[in-house]
């Protein structure tokens, strides 16, 4: 994360309730209530006491509280153990910790290739390319990762 963004982080306290949309170009941390959409060009942190009723359109988001709406991220979506997500999640990467409550749909494909994802009705035959194997397991020896080494 850019240091400029961390320095310009906006914090909405626990006792704040916002009705309406919020737009920001830097990072934001919401610990209060938001009844509306959030559009953020940086990283958004939804605190443990936060309650969002609306859609999130962010670069990256870390959810610790509750979100009732859809989340669209350009990069990573993190759902921490106490997160409660009620809606759809779409992003490049997804990290879900054990303990999350998640009701909705998730669409995350970090490799970006056709790794056998069910073909939509308007495109691609059902035959899946053999070469489109998951690439991440080759890197497992180098990195420890969340689950540790295999």
Partner 1 sequence: MPERHEIVCYECGFAFVLQGRFEKTYCPKCRQCLTFETITIDGVSRRTVKTIGVVTVTPAGKIAGGRIVATDVILAGAINGGQVCVSRRLELREGATFKPDCVSMRDVRIHAGARIALDHDLVCRDLEVDGFLKARVHADGLIAVRRGGFLSGEIHGPRLAVQDGAGLSAVLDVGPGCAPAAPRKTSTAPAEKPTLSQPETRPEKKKRAPASRKGKPRKAAQNKST
CB atoms within 10 A of CB 27: 24
Closest approach of partner 1 to the CB of residue 139, in Å: 7
Quick check: 29 binds partner 1 (CB under 8 A)?
no
Q: Which residue's CB is nearer to partner 1, number 18 or number 113?
A: 113
Closest approach of partner 1 to the CB of residue 121, in Å: 15
Q: Which residue's CB is nearer to partner 1, number 3 or number 147?
A: 147
Which helix (H) or strand (E) segment holds residue 6: the answer is helix 3-7
Binding mask 103-142 for partner 1 (x = CB under 8 A): xxxxxxxxx---xxxx---------x----xxxxxxxx--
Which helix (H) or strand (E) segment holds residue 96: the answer is strand 93-96
Binding mask 52-71 for partner 1 (x = CB under 8 A): --------------------
CA-to-CA dists, residue 16 to 38, 84, 143, angstroms: 15, 20, 41
- What is the rounded distance in angstroms from the CA atom of residue 68 to the CA atom of residue 51? 8
Q: Which two structure tokens, joined as six digits, stand for 13?
A: 């306290």
Give, as one character, the DSSP assignment of residue 5: H
* Chain residues in the site for partner 1 (CB under 8 A): 76, 84, 93-111, 115-118, 128, 133-140, 143, 145-147, 150
């Amino acid at each position: 994360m850019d240091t400029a963004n961390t320095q310009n982080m906006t914090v909405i306290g626990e006792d704040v309730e916002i009705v309406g949309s919020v737009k920001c170009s830097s990072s934001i941390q919401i610990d209060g209530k938001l009844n509306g959409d959030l559009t953020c060009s940086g990283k958004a942190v939804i605190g443990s006491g936060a309650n969002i009723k609306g859609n999130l359109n962010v670069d990256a988001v870390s959810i610790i509280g509750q979100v009732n709406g859809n989340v669209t991220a350009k990069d990573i979506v993190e759902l921490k153990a106490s997160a409660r997500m009620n809606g759809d999640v779409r992003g490049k990467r997804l990290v879900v910790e054990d303990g999350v409550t998640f009701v909705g749909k998730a669409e995350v494909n970090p490799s970006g290739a056709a790794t056998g994802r069910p073909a939509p009705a308007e495109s691609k035959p059902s035959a899946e390319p053999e070469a489109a194997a998951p690439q991440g397991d080759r890197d497992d020896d180098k990195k420890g990762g969340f689950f540790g080494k295999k």
